[in-house]
Amino acid sequence: MRPIETAATVRYTREEGLAEALRGADALFVYDFLSTAVPAAWHAADRLRWLHIASAGVDPVLFPELRASDVVLTNSRGVFDHSIAEYVLGVVLAFAKDFARSLDLQREGSWLHRETERVTGKRALVLGTGPIGQAIAGLLRAAGLRVAGVGRRAREDDPAFGTVYASDDLIERLPDADYVIAVAPLTEQTKGIFDARAFAAMKPSARFVNVGRGELVVTDDLIGALRDGELAGAALDVFDTEPLPANSPLWTMKNVLISPHMSGDFVGWRNTLVEVFADNFHRWRAGAELRNVVDKQLGYVPSPVR
């Protein structure tokens, strides 16, 4: 693939220089996908036509001025699907086979025989039916779980999930699930969707997995549910405050698995993100259709209607 520098003037900048770099720029590549600097520098975007972010989530750049503008927004959908699905399968197996306890006992030099759970026949409910959710469904089903999805539109013939329930029916479907996996994009509709009411609807033996956005969860409600036995465990890769504060009770809960926002990060992922942008850049220069165009009102790339 031809280097971008041969086809355009490229300015590299940190957050503090973003406004200056934006003046006169036609395109913006937000490589630091956790940065919140774009809204403050937006006043300098005097000729911007396209913004690409190096992540699947677009909430850091989806502010009102961008929504109202003619600037096309694209993301890096497709890069992390399979690695996040592998993470989810891994934590499901870790819970079922009690790996954390085995490691503790190994460090203690203690031989303690236990029985563990089978995952075959267990039910998983996945909130988020885009490509990442579809990849999760595929791996969980291959491991023997029965999987259903929760998405914007209910349907019975989804190729990945079979049955997809409407998001308005989430509370009604939670009591059936042994594993609840959150991978939905952050929108006004999904923010705080896992609250005290949602956790109370889950069966006490259920485990909750969040690989979507931290703000999908009301953290205090999750802590309360775990502490009060309303929930058997949680695997959390994302949090509403990152890094997770040192005084968070989640750190010391024996039924919680914590990872630092890394479920999708495989060896070479940074280069892959640049390759996705470069491919879109050459499409943009040629006037071709861009990949991963975000619907700025929905907050994500719409999946084709099946």
Predicted local distance difference test score (pLDDT) of residue 306: 46
For residues 19 and 202, what is the distance between their CA atoms, to the nearest angstrom? 47
From the candidates 261, 282, 285, 291, give the one annotated as an active-site residue: 261
Q: Is 213 part of the annotated catalytic residue set?
A: yes
3-state SS class at 42: helix
Give 254-260 contacts, CB < 8 A, sequence gap 24+: 254/100, 255/226, 256/226, 257/91, 257/94, 257/95, 257/100, 257/233, 259/87, 259/235
Residues sharing a CB contact under 8 Å with residue 173, sequence separation 6 or more, in sequence order: 125, 148, 150, 165
Active site includes 282?
Answer: no
| Catalytic-residue membership of 261 | yes
Which residue's structure tokens are 């942008």?
277
Name the token pair of 183: 């991978």
**What pLDDT is recorded for position 1?**
52
Element (H, E) at 270: helix 269-286
CA distance linking residue 120 with residue 142, whole number of Å: 9
Catalytic residue among 52, 207, 213, 230: 213
The answer to whether residues 211 and 238 touch, using CB atoms and an 8 Å cutoff, is: yes
Report pLDDT for 303: 80
User: What does pLDDT average to in each consecutive run of 10 residues of the chain (306 residues)?
Assistant: 85 98 98 95 98 95 97 97 98 98 98 98 98 98 98 95 97 98 95 98 98 98 98 98 98 97 97 97 97 96 73
Judge contact between 75 and 52, C-beta under 8 A. yes
pLDDT of residue 3: 83
Question: Can you give the pLDDT at residue 2?
Answer: 62
The whole model's pTM is what? Answer: 0.94
Distance between CA atoms of residues 281 and 216, nearest Å:
32
Number of other residues whose CB lies within 10 A of the CB of residue 165: 21
Q: Strand pairing partners for 51?
A: 28, 73
What domains sit in the chain, N to C, each tagged with a CATH number? 4-78+266-286 (3.40.50.720), 81-258 (3.40.50.720)
Give pLDDT, residue 305.
53
Catalytic residue among 67, 242, 270, 306: 242
